[in-house]
Amino acid sequence: MATNRTFTMIKPDAVEDNHIGSILAMITEAGFKVVGLKFTKLSTEQAGTFYEVHSARPFYGELVEFMSRGPIVAAILEKENAVEDFRKLIGATNPANAEEGTIRKRFARSIGENAVHGSDSDENAAIEGNFFFSMLERF
Ligand code: GTP
Ligand code: MG
């Protein structure tokens, strides 16, 4: 089942900009089924753990501050080829390089405040889903 699932967050910038509904609509219209969904907020410590892989990067502090400054929507999504197809749907990390019709092209403010997260592998999709959701919260 894990190979057909990915994990996403609608990041604080997109929540602030009131895009939760529009982004969830783009996700479901692209054929993803929502199998876990949560509106929550990360502490700085939790955001630091989630993005630990980037801890040596110069933007890490900024990233942790950003991801913990307001609520986020976390979701587990199911679809054939979920991880790769979802990365296509969200577009490039920097919205200036994102293709037309992608979520980041439409909603991201900048390379740092880029509206959505998408897992980059099946393994990380499982780890990230487990970070946010118990077995009772996924369907
Ligand atoms: P995620 O789906 O959020 O993991 O983004 P990504 O996989 O497209 O990019 P990556 O994992 O390389 O970076 C994680 C996040 O760090 C990005 O989504 C941005 O929010 C942030 N980030 C990446 N590069 C920069 C940068 O050069 N400056 C700043 N301020 N933030 C960055
Ligand atoms: Mg990433």
As beta bridge partners, residue 34 has 77
Position 35 in a domain: yes
**What confidence tens digit (pLDDT) does each residue in 65-103 have?**
999 999 999 999 999 999 999 999 999 999 999 999 999
Domain of 104, CATH number, reads 3.30.70.141
- Phi then psi for 75, rounded to 5 degrees? -150, 145
pLDDT recorded at residue 3: 60
Q: Quick check: 115 pLDDT over 80?
A: yes
As a whole number, the mean pLDDT across the chain is 97
* Structural domain boundaries enclosing 16: 5-43+72-137
Query: Which residues lie near ion ligand 2 (Cβ < 5 Å)?
Result: 120
pLDDT recorded at residue 107: 98
Distance between CA atoms of 139 and 123, rounded to whole angstroms? Answer: 19
- Number of domains the chain is built from: 1
Distance between CA atoms of 96 and 9, rounded to whole angstroms? Answer: 20
pTM metric for this prediction: 0.96
Q: What is the token pair recorded at 110?
A: 């900048």
Q: What is the token pair recorded at 64?
A: 């942790």
**What confidence tens digit (pLDDT) does each residue in 5-38 have?**
999 999 999 999 999 999 999 999 999 999 999 9
Position 65 in a domain: no
Pocket of ligand 1, candidates 7, 9, 13, 59: which has the most ligand atoms within 8 Å of its Cβ, to mutate?
59
Ligand 1 pocket member 12 (CB < 6 A): no
Q: Name the residue among 137, 14, 136 with its Cα closest to residue 75.
A: 137
